[in-house]
């Protein structure tokens, strides 16, 4: 180190001093004036031992050649305290400078943050601050961890001398010493702030949280109150303590205070665990203990797996988890004194610890680039510990959280953590389906879909290298390739499956990326067995039929400079497959986030040989192939037929209303005619409103979040059901007249009953469907404003409709049988001719009016049926309004006569012999044969 005379004079000046750069936020120090004494040790000359305040440089310092110092010691003395600066030696040459005042203050907005609130730390600086970072040293942690903007942590950008740290929904995980580091005035400063967070009830584990005990079979019992071991600031106590002892116990990272009650209390007692801490909120948690009295219904002792003590009916027995597992096991005692099944919520402690670390990382603790690889490396060994559905769900949650962190931060994974991930995925796919996967998916239907999305995301973030990378396991295969900055050839890979799977991406899809000079990597991931785990959800265009997924799931991703590229043509050859192929991809957004298969942007075509199946898709995601034994009808043709039929039906129903407006008083002169036409008029009104609603539904934005779509689906459901219930009312009136020929119905009580049947019953069915299936996300069909046919909502429509069609079919059969009974006054030839004519008329009238054509809906629900029933069903039922106009209105003898009188003013003679094709004709014929 070389010093000049001017520098020496600077060191000899009087300067301010303020302690160390490491200053607690609560400490305030004022600058003081000090006197400086410097001891200089030149290499070749003895220097004065002391430099006074006013310094006359020695002649050696004024020479032209500088001198090298071998050591420097600088001390300071003041009237308040003495301190020293830095001592440098020849080994580490440097300079010495005394510290200026602390250029900022760190403050906590709330003296005592409460659990669930927002913690806010503010830094106010007097000078420009750079390289600002926030750290947290949690209770029991040896070193601080970096805080980054996660789901709970928000870092305000320093502006106008202020920077802030905000943490949402704080808990015990955010208690500890906060450290703010920054640079100002050429120094690096560290400011500290201690933050304490009170315990909340969720932090305390009680076992049991309720208890019923029989004093005759048990003289005493134990209660446990456990808090995390890292929190040593709380002291615990029990009350009441009469006739009991208290002891402490360490269990699985928790410190438990155990209350041992030696003798059974005489009456029901509530025991309270009280947790107190300095400057912290006192927490009290109660455990009610119920004494089983003589005559109470009880569940006896049982040793199913573990010992279950005598429990009072209606109570829940609880038991601790086995060693190294966290949670509890419960078993309900039924009202009749019978034990229910054991419900285990025990999870492996190490899996929960791994999940806890992942959640803290997602919230904003630790460095993602360092923590994510560490957690991934631990996954394979942890999968072997999964022995319950809760263990599997914990693993899947961990992988999902890590994938979200990687996607949010954009970090890249080296081959080592990536191999660990693939090894863990291979083991997860090999887990038993009946004992682990099925119960886990019963709790969380999207479990397998979440695994697919997480593995896709993580695999696509592999670090780009010059050499291609491939990794093969029994259930997982991965291939990555880096593209050069030249126009590439076609991308082709193949996987060792049976039959072999080949992938081809044409060069035209990749050329724009290469021309942009981006760093491009292509990752192809093959997952076997996953196709058998994904839910059987089929999106728009695939219908509600059941398919078999005869191939593995293939995921292809392209990354360009860290950004995902989604649009590219990919051609996949799945080899020889039996059945009708449907090329599909897994859409994670379908079915309210549960995921489902969709064929949008994908089509099947014949491969290079006629026996192979080739899929061509215009986007990149997870692909597979569905096989069915029948072809799903093309939706455009059916949609066109539906629209044309509904349009014609609406026009016909409007004409029908106009006709009734003209002839109503003429056609309802007797009770039977009044009941029939009143029911038919309500059928016309309901069907007209339903068809109009259904025809306009495609114009609305689909989905449960669209109020118009939801209202339209409900109205269509209600109105179509009302149509059928009015048809049922009409059929029941006819059945009564057929069975009780000479019994007249009363208008005063029949009409109200018809209104109740026609409107209140369908309203009940529609309301039940809405209340049952909407909260589950199973009410609307994906992409439509209509009922979901997969989850049961549609059956709340199809069930009543098919039941009504069955009843109406019986009424029609009764009418036909009545017409076929021989009349005593007719000869054989006349009898046959009249009977045949009556049967034909009845079938023409009652089949469309009573909705019997909807019975074809059963055929459309059968998976193996061809497309013919779909077309017949669509044509007949969308045109029901036309049939009602023709057979229910215009062919009625009284309607014809009324129209002729109104428009022609004279009645032709031929009108007296017109065909009476309605229930009146049938009743007259049945009376003649009675």
Residue 358 in this model has a pLDDT that exceeds 70? yes
Locate 409 and state its tokens. Answer: 């931060």
CA pair distance 66, 420, nearest whole angstrom: 61
CA pair distance 684, 855, nearest whole angstrom: 20
CA pair distance 567, 183, nearest whole angstrom: 46
- Higher per-residue pLDDT: 286 or 54: 286
Residue 343 in this model has a pLDDT that exceeds 60? yes
Give the N- to C-terminal CA distance of the chain in Å, as an integer.
131
Percentage of the chain lying above the pLDDT 70 cut: 74
Question: Which residues fall within 8 angstroms of residue 302, CB to CB, at 6 or more apart?
Answer: 308, 339
Helix 389-409 with 415-429: angle, nearest 10 deg:
150
Residue 315 in this model has a pLDDT that exceeds 60? yes
Which residue pairs from 152-155 have beta carbons closer than 8 angstroms and sit at least 24 positions apart in sequence? 152/363, 152/364, 153/363, 153/364, 153/365
Under the banding of pLDDT at 50, 70 and 90, the label for residue 541 is: low
Per-residue pLDDT tens over the stretch 708-731: 889 999 999 999 999 889 888 888
pLDDT, mean of residues 575-600: 81
CA pair distance 32, 23, nearest whole angstrom: 17
Residue 39 in this model has a pLDDT that exceeds 60? no
Check if the beta carbon of residue 398 is closer than 8 Å to that of residue 358: yes
**Around 733, how many Cα atoms within 13 Å sit in the side-chain half-sphere?**
28
Under the banding of pLDDT at 50, 70 and 90, the label for residue 873 is: confident
Residue 47 in this model has a pLDDT that exceeds 50? no
β-bridge pairing 254-261 and 221-228: antiparallel
Under the banding of pLDDT at 50, 70 and 90, the label for residue 760 is: very high
Under the banding of pLDDT at 50, 70 and 90, the label for residue 795 is: confident
- Higher per-residue pLDDT: 179 or 320: 179
**From the centroid of its chain, how far is CA 239?**
43
CA pair distance 527, 529, nearest whole angstrom: 7
Under the banding of pLDDT at 50, 70 and 90, the label for residue 481 is: confident
Least reliable range by pLDDT among 126-130, 800-804, 887-891: 887-891
Q: Which residues on adjacent β-strands are paired with residue 228?
A: 254
pLDDT given at position 57: 47
Check if the beta carbon of residue 809 is closer than 8 Å to that of residue 855: yes
Per-residue pLDDT tens over the stretch 180-216: 999 988 888 999 999 988 888 888 888 888 889 888 7
Least reliable range by pLDDT among 51-55, 328-332, 502-506, 847-851: 51-55
10 Å Cβ neighbour count for 486? 8
pLDDT, mean of residues 909-917: 38
Residue 853 in this model has a pLDDT that exceeds 70? no
Question: Which residues fall within 8 angstroms of residue 668, CB to CB, at 6 or more apart?
Answer: 674, 677, 678
Q: Is 742 exposed, middle or buried (0-12, 13-18, 19+ CB in 10 A)?
A: exposed
Of the candidates 719, 700, 855, which has an alpha carbon nearest to the alpha carbon of residue 780? 700
Check if the beta carbon of residue 717 is closer than 8 Å to that of residue 769: yes
Of the candidates 297, 344, 301, which has an alpha carbon nearest to the alpha carbon of residue 319? 344
Residue 62 in this model has a pLDDT that exceeds 50? no
Percentage of the chain lying above the pLDDT 90 cut: 27
Phi, psi dihedral angles at 174 (to 5 degrees): -115, 15
Q: What is the DSSP letter of 334?
A: -
Locate 742 and state its tokens. Answer: 């000479």
CA pair distance 186, 278, nearest whole angstrom: 40
Mean model confidence pLDDT for the chain = 78
Per-residue pLDDT tens over the stretch 248-267: 888 767 888 899 998 888 88
pLDDT given at position 441: 92
Maximum separation of any 2 CA atoms in the chain, in Å: 156
pLDDT given at position 598: 87
Residue 99 in this model has a pLDDT that exceeds 70? no
Residue 68's H or E segment, with its range, is strand 67-77
Per-residue pLDDT tens over the stretch 665-688: 877 777 777 887 888 889 889 989
Under the banding of pLDDT at 50, 70 and 90, the label for residue 356 is: very high
For residues 325-340, one letter each, b for 16 or more C-beta atoms within 10 angstroms of the residue's C-beta and e for the rest, the string is: bbbbbbbbbeeeeebe
Under the banding of pLDDT at 50, 70 and 90, the label for residue 4 is: very low
- Higher per-residue pLDDT: 67 or 385: 385
Check if the beta carbon of residue 555 is closer than 8 Å to that of residue 531: no
Place of tokens 């009898």: 831
CA pair distance 893, 912, nearest whole angstrom: 9
Per-residue pLDDT tens over the stretch 622-638: 878 776 544 444 457 77
CA pair distance 193, 179, nearest whole angstrom: 7
Check if the beta carbon of residue 108 is closer than 8 Å to that of residue 193: yes
CA pair distance 285, 273, nearest whole angstrom: 5
pLDDT, mean of residues 533-561: 77
Residue 30 in this model has a pLDDT that exceeds 90? no
pLDDT given at position 232: 60
Locate 761 and state its tokens. Answer: 């019953």
pLDDT given at position 608: 60
Question: Which residues fall within 8 angstroms of residue 544, CB to CB, at 6 or more apart?
Answer: 538, 789, 790, 861
Q: Which residues on adjacent β-strands are paired with residue 133?
A: 181
- Higher per-residue pLDDT: 335 or 85: 335
Phi, psi dihedral angles at 329 (to 5 degrees): -110, 140
């Amino acid at each position: 180190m070389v010093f000049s005379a001017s520098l020496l004079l600077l060191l000899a000046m009087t300067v301010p001093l303020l302690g160390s750069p490491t200053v607690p936020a609560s400490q305030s120090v004022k600058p003081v004036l000090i006197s400086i004494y410097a001891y200089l040790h030149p290499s070749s000359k003895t220097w004065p031992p002391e430099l006074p305040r006013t310094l006359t440089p020695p002649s050696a310092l004024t020479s032209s050649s500088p001198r090298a110092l071998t050591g420097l010691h600088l001390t300071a003395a003041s009237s308040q305290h003495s301190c020293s600066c830095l001592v440098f030696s020849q080994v580490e040459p440097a300079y010495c400078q005394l510290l200026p005042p602390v250029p900022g203050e760190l403050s906590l907005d709330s003296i005592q943050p409460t659990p669930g609130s927002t913690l806010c730390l503010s830094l106010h600086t007097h000078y420009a601050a750079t390289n600002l970072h926030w750290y947290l040293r949690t209770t029991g942690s040896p070193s601080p961890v970096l805080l980054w903007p996660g789901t709970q942590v928000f870092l305000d950008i320093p502006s106008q001398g202020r920077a802030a740290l905000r943490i949402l929904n704080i808990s015990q995980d955010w208690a500890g010493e906060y450290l703010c580091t920054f640079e100002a005035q050429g120094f690096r400063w560290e400011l500290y702030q201690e933050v304490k967070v009170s315990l909340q009830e969720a932090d305390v584990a009680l076992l049991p949280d309720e208890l019923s005990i029989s004093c005759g079979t048990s003289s005493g019992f134990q209660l446990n109150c456990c808090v995390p071991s890292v929190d040593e600031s709380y002291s615990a106590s029990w009350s009441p303590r009469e006739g009991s002892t208290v002891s402490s116990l360490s269990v699985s990272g928790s410190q438990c205070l155990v209350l041992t009650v030696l003798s059974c209390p005489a009456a029901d007692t509530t025991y309270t665990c009280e947790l107190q801490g300095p400057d912290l909120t006192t927490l009290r948690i109660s455990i009610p203990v119920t004494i089983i009295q003589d005559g109470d219904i009880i569940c006896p002792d049982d040793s199913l797996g573990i010992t279950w003590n005598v429990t009072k009916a209606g109570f829940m027995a609880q038991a601790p988890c086995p060693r190294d597992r966290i949670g509890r096991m419960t078993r309900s005692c039924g009202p009749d004194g019978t034990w229910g099944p054991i419900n285990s919520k025990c999870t492996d402690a190490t899996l929960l610890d791994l999940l806890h670390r992942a959640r803290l990382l997602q919230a904003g603790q630790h460095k993602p680039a360092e923590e994510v690889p560490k957690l991934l490396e631990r996954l394979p060994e942890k999968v072997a510990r999964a022995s319950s559905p809760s263990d599997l769900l914990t693993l899947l949650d961990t992988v999902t959280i890590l994938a979200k962190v990687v996607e949010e931060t954009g970090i890249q994974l080296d081959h080592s953590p990536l191999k660990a991930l693939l090894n863990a995925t291979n083991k997860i796919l090999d887990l038993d389906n009946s004992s682990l996967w099925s119960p886990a998916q019963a709790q969380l239907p999207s479990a397998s879909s979440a695994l697919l999305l997480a593995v896709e995301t993580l695999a696509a973030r592999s670090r780009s290298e010059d050499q291609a990378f491939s990794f093969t396991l029994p259930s997982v295969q991965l291939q990555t390739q880096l593209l050069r900055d030249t126009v590439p050839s076609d991308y082709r890979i193949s996987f060792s499956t049976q039959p072999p799977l080949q992938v081809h991406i044409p060069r035209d899809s990749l050329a724009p990326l290469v021309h942009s000079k981006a760093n491009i990597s292509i990752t192809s991931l093959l997952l076997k067995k996953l196709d058998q785990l994904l839910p059987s959800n089929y999106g728009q265009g695939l219908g509600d039929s059941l398919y078999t997924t005869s191939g593995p799931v293939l995921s292809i991703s392209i990354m360009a400079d860290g950004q995902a590229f989604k649009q590219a043509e990919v051609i996949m050859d799945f080899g020889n497959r039996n059945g009708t192929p449907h090329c599909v991809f897994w859409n994670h957004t379908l079915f309210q986030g549960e995921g489902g298969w969709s064929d949008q942007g994908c089509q099947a075509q014949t491969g290079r040989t006629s026996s192979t199946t080739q899929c061509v898709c215009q986007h990149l995601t997870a692909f597979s192939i569905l096989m069915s034994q029948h072809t799903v009808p093309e939706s455009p043709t059916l949609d066109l037929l539906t629209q044309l039929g509904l349009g014609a039906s609406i026009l016909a129903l409007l004409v029908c209303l106009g006709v009734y407006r003209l002839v109503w008083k003429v056609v309802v002169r007797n009770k039977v005619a009044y009941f029939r036409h009143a029911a038919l008029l309500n059928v016309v009104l309901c069907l007209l409103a339903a068809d109009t609603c259904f025809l306009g539904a495609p114009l609305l934005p689909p989905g449960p979040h669209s109020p118009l779509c939801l209202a339209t689906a409900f109205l269509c459901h209600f109105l179509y059901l009302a149509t059928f219930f009015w048809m049922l009312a009409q059929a029941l009136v006819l059945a009564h007249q057929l069975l009780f020929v000479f019994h007249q119905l009363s208008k005063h009580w029949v009409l109200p009953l018809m209104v109740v049947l026609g409107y209140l019953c369908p309203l009940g069915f529609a309301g039940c469907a809405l209340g049952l299936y909407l909260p589950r996300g199973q009410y609307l069909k994906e992409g439509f404003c209509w009922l979901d046919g997969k989850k049961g909502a549609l059956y709340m429509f199809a069930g009543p409709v098919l039941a009504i069609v069955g009843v109406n079919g019986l009424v029609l059969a009764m009418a036909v049988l009545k017409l076929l009974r021989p009349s005593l006054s007719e000869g054989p030839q006349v009898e046959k001719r009249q009977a045949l004519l009556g049967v034909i008329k009845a079938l023409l009238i009652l089949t469309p009016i009573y909705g019997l054509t909807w019975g074809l809906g059963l055929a459309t629900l059968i998976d193996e049926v061809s497309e013919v029933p779909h077309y017949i069903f669509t044509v007949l039922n969308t045109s029901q309004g036309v049939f009602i106009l023709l057979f229910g209105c215009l062919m009625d003898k009284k309607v014809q006569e009324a129209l002729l009188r109104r428009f022609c003013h004279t009645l032709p003679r031929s009108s007296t012999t017109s065909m009476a094709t309605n229930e009146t004709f049938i009743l007259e014929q049945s009376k003649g044969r009675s």
